[in-house]
Amino acid sequence: MQFFVTKTGLDAFDTARAWGLAVLLNVLTQDEVRLQDASWAFILEPKGCIPQNAQLTGLGSWVTLFNAVDVQWDSVFVTQRGRQEEKKGQVRQILETQLHSLLSDLQRPDNLVEIGSGENVPGGLEPAAFKGLRHVTKASYREDQLKVSEGHWALSCLGMATCGTYRFSREAGQYRWLVLLPVPQNVHFNYFRDVQELMRPSGLRYIGVQNAAAHYSVQLTEQLRRRAVAQGSLQDRFSAVLYFTLFGTRQQVKPSQGNQLNLTPLMDAIQEDPHGTEAMLKWLDYCFRLGATKGAEELALAVTELVMRWDLDAYEKLVKVFVRFIARNQVRYDNLPYERTLLGVMKNVKV
């Protein structure tokens, strides 16, 4: 039985809906859900069967999603302070009451999200949902909220709360929320904490959102590489990491910047040789960690550029900067890369 999350073009909203549906199907079947990106839609296929007259109410794993501390409801609704509990309850109630109609709707490949009526997409979930970003507002600030149908809204909130990563930190001198969401390409979903584990916070002080997103991408790749080694081959692939930042003005939370980081070069590398890429990822991780220290911002920027672009310019810049750090005796001998480590990096560089 296949389910289709037809894309709307709102990247974070679409991806969050796909994760939300995966969580929902996982709770209902208590089994693995396969998630594939077919470019026009995310296609989900649960391994187990959904019981006739299935109910979410009373299921232990369903209740956990609304009580566990690591499900980030408050962060998803960060733009609706004071109403976060109410919104969380609303998500739960909508999914419990509209479960069967929503699932039958999502089984049609031509299902579409109705935009313009329903619930407001929260800014903590989709940065394009903020007013003033979609249309020219000219002199008067009269743009409507981005509203979508209730079922899809609830699915997206569930997906973002369970599989998204929110990190509140001081970056480049300003406190902000960094929001990250991995985009699945071909994933076997078993438990939402497996996805959370891929984006574990590192506790480093980053110099910008790109720097943080690039480091999280390397960490995600390392986790997948370890799984690939344990399982014999790469089972799960992610196409990108969506990232954006939110910052607090005096009264409101606003988006600042965002983009997506293409994971294809890293995924290809670990698919081809999961054992051989260990040293490369370890060295990149070291560059990020050294780059997070005071005075090493240049290294952080260089390694970020490489992970984002994988071209000769970026590679050359990184080796030039790294050699200067060796010159300043800031790199211990044990942390120098082997030739084979650099060969692993070079394999991914586009010339």
Partner 1 sequence: MSKCEAQRLEEVFSDPAVREFGSALRRALRLNDDYASLMEFEFAETPEAFADALRRFLRRYETLARRYNLRRPSESALESIVRLADDYGVRMIRAALISHALCRAEREAEGGEQ
Q: How many residues bind partner 1 (CB under 8 A)?
A: 22
Task: Check residue 272 for interaction with partner 1 (CB under 8 A).
Answer: no
Binding range to partner 1, per CB under 8 A, among 76-84, 167-175, 261-269, 333-341 = 333-341
Q: How far is the CB of 317 from partner 1 (least distance, A)?
A: 9
Task: Between 193 and 320, name the residue whose CB sits nearer to partner 1.
Answer: 320
Residue 177 and residue 169: Cα distance in Å, rounded? 6
Task: Check residue 172 for interaction with partner 1 (CB under 8 A).
Answer: no
Task: Between 192 and 310, name the residue whose CB sits nearer to partner 1.
Answer: 310
CA max distance for the chain? 68
Residue 281 and residue 163: Cα distance in Å, rounded? 23
Say if residues 196 and 189 touch (Cβ distance below 8 Å).
Answer: no
Geometric angle at alpha carbon 55, from 53 and 58, rounded to 5°: 145
Q: How far is the CB of 313 from partner 1 (least distance, A)?
A: 8
Task: Check residue 347 for interaction with partner 1 (CB under 8 A).
Answer: yes
Return the sign of the alpha-carbon dihedral for residues 208, 214, 216, 219: negative
Q: Tally Cβ neighbours within 10 Å of residue 116.
A: 9
Task: Between 154 and 307, name the residue whose CB sits nearer to partner 1.
Answer: 307
Q: How far is the CB of 320 from partner 1 (least distance, A)?
A: 6
**String of DSSP letters for 104-122:** HHHTSTT----EEEEEEPP
Q: How far is the CB of 12 from partner 1 (least distance, A)?
A: 35
Binding range to partner 1, per CB under 8 A, among 112-120, 205-213, 293-301, 329-337 = 329-337
Query: Which residues between 297 and 326 bind partner 1 (CB under 8 A)?
Result: 312-313, 315-316, 319-320, 322-323, 326
Task: Report the chain's C-alpha Rg in angstroms.
Answer: 21
**String of DSSP letters for 137-170:** -TTS--PPP-EE-HHHHHHHHHHHHHH-EEEEEE
Task: Check residue 341 for interaction with partner 1 (CB under 8 A).
Answer: yes
Task: Between 258 and 337, name the residue whose CB sits nearer to partner 1.
Answer: 337
Task: Check residue 332 for interaction with partner 1 (CB under 8 A).
Answer: no
Q: How far is the CB of 214 from partner 1 (least distance, A)?
A: 20
Residue 306 and residue 302: Cα distance in Å, rounded? 6
**209: helix, strand or coil:** helix
Positions that interact with partner 1 (CB under 8 A): 312-313, 315-316, 319-320, 322-323, 326-327, 333, 336-339, 341-343, 346-347, 349, 351
